[in-house]
Amino acid sequence: MVPIELVLALGAILFCIGLYGVLTRRHLVIVLVCIELMLNSVNINLVAFSSIGPFANITGQVFTLFVITLAAAEAAVGLAILIALYRNRESIDAIKQDLLRW
Amino acid sequence: MNINTHIVFFLILAVIAIVCAVLVLALKKISHRVLSMAFCFFAVAGLYFLLRAEFIGIIQIMVYVGALSILFVFGMMMTDHKNVGFGPERKKVHKFLAFIGVGTLLGFMLYGIMGMNLPSNNEQFIGSAEAIGVELYGNYVIALQAAGILLLAALIGAIVLARKEAE
């Protein structure tokens, strides 16, 4: 059995890689991909506690299903927004989307 | 499987996942980055199988590797994928500050995880699809309905947003 600290450390590392990507990349598709990476690392934590945690039970896997549903819906709406943005502004560079900047 | 085989498999999958996640940030072409993301999700699905959450592993492969990767490939092809660089990158200071902040966060999280004192549990829990279904339609039935409504709203919203404006 894998010690739970190793699995949690993997989740933390993946989360931080995704967060760094969201903060620094300029291509908006890559920003969405990094958000998916972050949600996935949350899933790793939930499944780890559900499987080898101190009070292992099924609830973590049920919540993982909800998170996967949420991630799919978010990716669909996000890509639709990107396509509309590209049609209207001819660019999906994150820096150029400054219409609401004060 | 004894304990060492488990840990060796876990380390292999973890290294694959982390390397693919880094490649998502490091590669040049957008299509290669999306492919690397798919491999990262595949490694995480293998990790779920190792943790004996088989149903979640199957769902991960179907939803993430199957559906989301195709969705991202379509989104990439419908926008400007030929344009690799956007001229001047973000400022060096910005990247450096982001790196410092994320590194500090990672350090704190790893410190907290390693200092954690959990009561040990020697039984690995095996989550069957049947148990998930009983729980989902028993305790969490309202959340299940809400997830259905959310998917419907996302479907309609995506169609309305991505469709061409009528003249």
Per-residue pLDDT tens over the stretch A40-87: 999 999 999 998 888 888 899 999 999 999 999 999 999 999 988 888
**Mutation choice for A interface testing from B8, B59, B64, B79 by most A CBs within 10 A:** B79
| Amino acid, single-letter form, for residue B19 | V
pLDDT (0 to 100) of residue B86: 59
Residue B31 touches partner A, C-beta closer than 8 Å: no
CA B113 centroid distance within chain: 21
The answer to whether residue A80 sits within a structural domain is yes
In this predicted complex, what is the ipTM?
0.90
User: A with B: how many residue pairs have Cβ under 8 Å apart?
Assistant: 226
Whether residues A61 and B122 touch (CB distance < 8 A) is answered with no
Tell me the DSSP string of A15-79: HHHHHHHHHH--BHHHHHHHHHHHHHHHHHHHHHHHHHSTT--THHHHHHHHHHHHHHHHHHHHH
CATH number reported for the structural domain that contains residue A68 in this entry? 1.10.287.3510
Stated pTM of the model: 0.90
Residue in B closest to A79 by C-alpha = B75
What Cα–Cα distance (Å) separates residue B22 from each residue in A41, A56, B25, B166? 14, 31, 5, 42
User: What are the structural domain ranges in chain B?
Assistant: 1-81, 128-167
pLDDT (0 to 100) of residue A16: 95
The CATH number assigned to the domain with range B1-81 reads 1.20.120.1200
* CB nearest A73 (choices: B17, B127, B154): B154
Residue A48 belongs to what domain range? 4-89
pLDDT tens, residue order, chain B (167 aa): 567 888 999 999 999 999 999 999 988 888 899 999 999 999 999 999 998 889 999 999 999 999 999 999 988 888 876 665 555 566 788 889 999 999 999 999 999 998 887 777 777 788 888 989 999 999 999 999 999 999 999 999 999 988 877 65
pLDDT (0 to 100) of residue B137: 93
The answer to whether residue A99 sits within a structural domain is no
Say yes or no to pLDDT of A98 above 90: no
Longest C-alpha distance within chain B, in Å?
67
Give how many domains chain A has, as a whole number. Answer: 1
* Structural contact between residues B21 and B95, judged by C-beta atoms closer than 8 angstroms: no
Whether residues B121 and A56 touch (CB distance < 8 A) is answered with yes
